Amino acid sequence: MQEYLLEFEQVYYTYSGAQQSALNGLNLKVPLGKRCALIGQNGCGKTTLFLLANGLYKPDSGVVRWRGEALNYHRNYLGKLRQQVGLIFQDPEQQLVASTVEEDISYGLCNLDLPVAEIQARVEQVLLEFGLTALAERPVHHLSLGQKKRVSIADVMVLNPELLLLDEPTAYLDVKHTRNLIKTLQRIHRNGTTLMMATHDLDLVYRWADWVFVMDKGNLILEGEPQDVFNQRSLLEELELGVPLIYEMLFDGLAGEDEGVKERVRQRILKLFHDFAS
């Protein structure tokens, strides 16, 4: 049976002074072990959902549950929750707090009052895993955006979260850094972390995700495996989200072909994508 890590039940949230609610009775469950993509127009509530997911914001009404238990908003509980639910902001500048890469990565661990030797060991391990060892002493403000992005992911991954939330992680990244990021995410996922990525890159969703959530006006309106979601073409067009380019090509370009041919082409393209990211 599918287990769920994080659940939103009838969640409403309105920013102070705003005319409309950002989350409007949201019902959504994040399945354990999946690579989830969250898509929807600008302003549909993706970032707000993330900010409620790790307790940075509290619902006006409704419940957010972590592993079946309603969040509690006391400081100690939230400290623990944020080790388990890692959030990577779109802009790494919002996340980097210390002066050097090494200090930045150790920051979250120092707040846990762990023994110094354990902190050092975990930081070294993460520096190695994220290819940051050579940059350990480097001031964070001297890094390129792609490097900052890597540090911001390492900052969160050093805490071994069970769920990693990524807000538009490929924004501002070039092809090389996007490719590296996807490889990193594959590795993190293989090691057992559930992932949820908000993105506008539908081609990336198609090749990367195994579960897709579609939001509109603060609500979940569709969810499923990528192929099933992108089959709802008229609904996605109505929402002005479109479909992945590869999907247009596959299903419009091969409109007259039988299903077996389409499936073989689809599998071939997915294999190319897989090779690209592995």
Ligand X SMILES: Nc1ncnc2c1ncn2[C@@H]1O[C@H](COP(=O)(O)OP(=O)(O)OP(=O)(O)O)[C@@H](O)[C@H]1O
Residue 255 interacts with ligand X (CB under 6 A): yes or no: no
| Minimum CB distance to ligand X smaller for 42 or for 76 | 42
Cα separations in angstroms, 258 against 19, 171, 245, 250, 264: 50, 37, 20, 12, 10
Residue 169 interacts with ligand X (CB under 6 A): yes or no: no
| Minimum CB distance to ligand X smaller for 16 or for 278 | 16
CB of 181 to ligand X, least distance (A): 18
Task: Please count the residues of the chain.
Answer: 278
Residue 48 interacts with ligand X (CB under 6 A): yes or no: yes
Cα separations in angstroms, 229 against 89, 181, 212, 242: 26, 24, 7, 11
Residue 220 interacts with ligand X (CB under 6 A): yes or no: no
CB of 22 to ligand X, least distance (A): 3
Q: Is the Cβ–Cβ distance between 183 and 278 less than 8 Å?
A: yes
Residue 45 interacts with ligand X (CB under 6 A): yes or no: yes
List of residues 6+ apart from 66 with CB closer than 8 A: 5, 6, 81, 84, 85
- Candidate list 22, 88, 105, 250; residue touching ligand X; CB under 6 A: 22
CB of 259 to ligand X, least distance (A): 34
Residue 108 interacts with ligand X (CB under 6 A): yes or no: no
Q: Which residue has the tokens 């039940």?
A: 9
Q: Could you tell me which stretch among 37-45, 55-63, 115-123, 124-132 binds ligand X (CB under 6 A)?
A: 37-45
- Candidate list 46, 82, 150, 207; residue touching ligand X; CB under 6 A: 46
Q: How far apart are CA 26 and CA 22, in angstroms?
A: 10
Q: Helix 245-253 to helix 259-277 angle, to the nearest 10 degrees?
A: 160
- Candidate list 3, 10, 27, 43; residue touching ligand X; CB under 6 A: 43
Q: How far apart are CA 227 and CA 216, in angstroms?
A: 19
Residue 15 interacts with ligand X (CB under 6 A): yes or no: yes
CB of 208 to ligand X, least distance (A): 18
Residue 47 interacts with ligand X (CB under 6 A): yes or no: yes
Q: How far apart are CA 28 and CA 47, in angstroms?
A: 14
| Minimum CB distance to ligand X smaller for 18 or for 255 | 18
| Minimum CB distance to ligand X smaller for 2 or for 42 | 42
Name the residue type at position 43.
G
Contacts to ligand X by CB under 6 A: 15, 18, 22, 40, 42-48
